[in-house]
Amino acid sequence: MPLVDMNDMLRHAYEEGYAVGAFDLVSVDFLQAILDAAERCRAPVILSLAESHFEYFDFDLLMPAVEAAARRATVPVAIHLDHGGSLDSAVHGIRMGCNGVMVDASHEPLEENIARTRAVVEMAHACGVAVEGELGYVPGVEGEDAERHPGQIAYTTVEEARRYVQETGVDFLAVSVGTVHGRMKGVPRLDLDRLAEIDEALHLPLVIHGGTGLSDEQFRALIARGVTKINYYTALADAAGARIRDNAADQGRRGYTALVDGVREAIAAEVERCIRLWGSADRADELLARARPWRPVHHVILFNAEGLDEAGVEALFAEGRRVLGAIPGVRHVRTGRALREGARYRYAWLIGFAHPAVVDSYREHPAHVAFADGRFRPVAPDRVSVDFGETTD
């Protein structure tokens, strides 16, 4: 199963001096294109889903496809929530299958940014999930003309970065050193000395947002100064758009499939160019040998009910699905009845955890304690439970 721990992935990149592409995807075409390119290059890759794009696709509907694609890949993959706006976004992203989350409170004053980020880190780390925070402000919007969003760049300072990392516990830091999200006129001017100082002070994987529009030379300079994750979207969207425009110019091509013909290849070509430039090509096998595989856990409880009729059990199940399903790190709560009369156990809970860390954080979570002690255990003295770590490759 080539979904791997994102911390292991980016630590490897940091130690070996290359960067992994975090390509934002907005459709199944993007998903397939990104993975086609990563497979062709034998490169680790991050499938990134930006909350600002959720108006273009149904996140909950797309995520099962993202996860299925990641699990059948033969190169190491991480799934990342990009620019999550709140603690709830992070909880939901993890529930849907992200094994890395970004909390973006970079537009807030430092104290507020630290407080919001720390809350996400506490929750996510208890689920085994890595966290990216952002300090300083990278203006612009992915996929749009940067000049239409003329926010001021706020550069990350070394002192604030040191404090932010120490007080939040983030695993990766997105820095602002002159890049801008979206389509730019000209090439941005980067503050590479500032980046080198931040790298020297922190020694942790650094992230660059707004990858589109940087020169080859600039990418190399960023990677030489600790950048190990590069967020990239607008150029992919533009490659797809150019292909569709060419198709549309051909009068014979009228239907949807004719118009999107070649879009995947156009996106994949740009992804491949980036992967080769950023040094992540041919890193897949060494990383797979070192990185911890990302393995979900199935928490299984079989039980017989005492003092509850079938309607009472159904009410218990419904409450459990709602209450337990909201605990961070829980992916789903499924309930069932034995098909055969006389089975040793009549009822079952099948609860999916994102990661083995959730076994402990779930057990201690106040909502679980209240439900287990107050509702479930009193009516289910005859029960057995086991946590199964998934073993499929």
Q: Is 270 in the site for ligand 13P (CB under 6 A)?
A: no
Least separation in angstroms between residue 137's CB and ligand 13P is: 12
Least separation in angstroms between residue 2's CB and ligand 13P is: 23
Q: Is 76 in the site for ligand 13P (CB under 6 A)?
A: no
Q: Is 132 in the site for ligand 13P (CB under 6 A)?
A: no
Q: What are phi and psi of 249, to 5 degrees?
A: -70, -20
Residue 303 contacts residue 336 (beta carbons within 8 Å): no
3-state secondary structure of 334: strand
Of the pair 83, 365, the CB lying nearest ligand 13P is at 83
**In this structure, how many other beta carbons lie within 10 angstroms of the beta carbon of residue 166?**
11
Of the pair 182, 279, the CB lying nearest ligand 13P is at 182
Least separation in angstroms between residue 103's CB and ligand 13P is: 13
The dihedral sign for the CA sequence 171, 237, 89, 99 = negative
Least separation in angstroms between residue 299's CB and ligand 13P is: 34
Give the residue carrying structure tokens 């955890």.
353
Task: Tell me which of 157, 234, 280, 361 binds ligand 13P, using CB under 6 A.
Answer: 234
Least separation in angstroms between residue 86's CB and ligand 13P is: 17
User: Which residues are designated catalytic?
Assistant: 82
Q: Is 21 in the site for ligand 13P (CB under 6 A)?
A: no
Which tokens is 42 given?
A: 């034998």
Distance of CA 90 to the CA centre of its chain: 9
| Alpha-helical regions (H) of the chain | 6-16, 28-41, 59-72, 87-96, 110-125, 158-168, 192-202, 216-223, 234-249, 256-259, 263-278, 284-290, 310-325, 357-364, 366-371
Of the pair 184, 281, the CB lying nearest ligand 13P is at 184
Q: Is 182 in the site for ligand 13P (CB under 6 A)?
A: yes
Task: Tell me which of 92, 116, 118, 209 binds ligand 13P, using CB under 6 A.
Answer: 209
Distance CA(65)–CA(70), nearest Å, equals 8
With CB under 6 A, what is the number of residues at the site for ligand 13P?
A: 16
Q: What are phi and psi of 81, to 5 degrees?
A: -85, 120
**In this structure, how many other beta carbons lie within 10 angstroms of the beta carbon of residue 272?**
20
Q: Which stretch binds ligand 13P (CB under 6 A): 10-18, 85-93, 230-238, 294-302?
A: 230-238
Closest CA to 105 of 87, 85, 121: 85
Q: Is 176 in the site for ligand 13P (CB under 6 A)?
A: no
Q: Is 142 in the site for ligand 13P (CB under 6 A)?
A: yes
Q: Is 5 in the site for ligand 13P (CB under 6 A)?
A: no
**Which residues contribute to the site for ligand 13P (CB under 6 A)?**
24, 50, 82-83, 142-143, 181-182, 209-212, 231-234
